Amino acid sequence: MPSDESYQSWDQDKLEGRGDLSHKHAAEAAGLGRLGKNSLLTTPEFGNRVYLVSVVTNLDLEPDPVIEKELCPQKCTLCIRSCPVGAIKDGQRVDQKACRSFMLLELPKGQIVENCRECRKVCPIGVSHMRLKTE
């Protein structure tokens, strides 16, 4: 199940959708990471620079232990301050309309391009791991 389509409901006025499955909440429950201040799944290895796809099964699988430790440093507000439209609010809330109105750019042939990833770019979590992989 891809995480960016198959909305169960869509509110056009708020540009907000709800799917059959919250991939980020399922990933948090499976022990892959924690939700960060920008409401994205944050992992120790890659920060919030992850994209989720879920496989739904009826197999009995052993989950990883849930990550209890808060991954976002308490005083860090880089993602909140970097948002060009101020869409990231306190309490892991994101104004989806503000975010999507700025982030999604529609090209002449109907293609959609993501125009902004500032909250992902500035996240310090997992940066050292990312540098090791690219060097």
pLDDT at site 61: 87
Write the CA distances from 75 to 20, 46, 48, 71, 88, integer angstroms: 34, 20, 17, 12, 15
Q: Taking residues 104-131, what's their average pLDDT?
A: 76
pLDDT band of residue 84 (cuts 50, 70, 90) is: very high
With respect to residue 49, please indicate whether it lies within any of the assigned structural domains: yes
pLDDT, residue 22, reads: 84
In a domain, 105, yes or no: yes
- Alpha carbons within 13 angstroms on the beta-carbon side of residue 134 total 7
> Would 47 be classed as within a structural domain?
yes
Whether 123 is in a domain gets the answer yes
Give domain status of residue 1, yes or no: no
Structural domain includes residue 78? yes
Domain count, the chain: 1
The answer to whether residue 2 sits within a structural domain is: no
Whether the pLDDT of residue 135 is over 80: the answer is no
**Torsion angle of C-alpha atoms 115, 90, 54, 64, degrees rounded to 10:** 130
Domain that holds residue 120: 7-134
Given a cut of 90, is residue 48 above it in pLDDT?
yes
State pTM to two decimals: 0.75
Domain assignment present for 73? yes
Residue 18: pLDDT over 70: no
What pLDDT, on the 0 to 100 scale, is given for residue 8?
62
Q: What is the mean pLDDT of residues 58-64?
A: 89
Residue 117, pLDDT > 60, answer: yes
Average pLDDT taken over every residue of the chain = 82
